[in-house]
Amino acid sequence: MPQRDQYCPVYRSLDLFGDRWGLLVVREILRGVTRFNELERSLPGISRSTLAQRLRHLEKEGIVERRTSEGRATEYRATEAGHDLVHVINAVGDWGVRWLVPQARPSEISPEGLMQWISRHVMLHELPSQRVVIRFEVRDRGRRSFWLVLRTGEVSLCPEHPGFPEDLVVTASTPNLYRLVVGQRSLELSMAEGSVRVDGPPALVRSLPRWFILRASGPPIESGTPR
């Protein structure tokens, strides 16, 4: 009998990725993080050597491809096979929300840490070309304000006013914002029940689920058209 279950697609798929970093690298590329240094910053805990090894492996397996334009940095893009992993990543995320994400108490949630998490999970390729500034009013033991400055491929988290006009204001307590961004509540339900308030032009409000990974509002990642 063979020692490897070479005919089992589950076994072969898991063997391809090896550990958590493989799928996480693909997830980051799918949300628009395409350069090595950006990938390293968006994956806390990964070493440069591990990232380089995973990228080489994913390229060899036909999951990502490397592109280098003249005078520009090397970029990594998902192949058709990589884009098809959207459904796998979404399913893993949905299962984790249901069974693994804890019902955190307010004292266990850091507003600063939560905003850092939000800033690292923006769908970069979905952002508009014009600058959008979102103020987050976090209500918990007083009020804290944070600003996200968004533009296609770029996100900046500011603890002080960035000096640009504000386009949207999101107001919520820390636990309610936490439940929204980890997918335990949809944006629509949160706004309807009053646990999250969003002020601004309706078109921009409707864009929020596309810009952020809000699982309960729909798929966190859209495959789009392979490039």
Sort strands 168-173 and 132-139 into parallel, antiparallel or unpaired. parallel
218 has a pLDDT exceeding 50: no
Name the band, by pLDDT with cuts 50, 70 and 90, for residue 109: confident
Q: What pLDDT digit, counting tens, does each position of 121-173 carry?
A: 898 888 988 999 999 999 876 788 999 999 988 899 999 999 999 999 999 99
Backbone dihedral angles phi then psi of residue 136, each to the nearest 5 degrees: -105, 115
What is the distance between the alpha carbons of residues 187 and 192, in angstroms, rounded to a whole number?
Answer: 8
215 has a pLDDT exceeding 80: no
pLDDT at 5: 63
pLDDT at 1: 44
Could you tell me what percent of the chain has a pLDDT over 70?
85
Higher pLDDT, 27 or 71: 27
- The domains located in the chain, with CATH, are 9-84 (1.10.10.10), 106-217 (3.30.1050.10)
- DSSP string for residues in 10-65: HHHHHHHH-SHHHHHHHHHHHTT--SHHHHHHHSTT--HHHHHHHHHHHHHTTSEE
| pTM score, whole prediction | 0.73
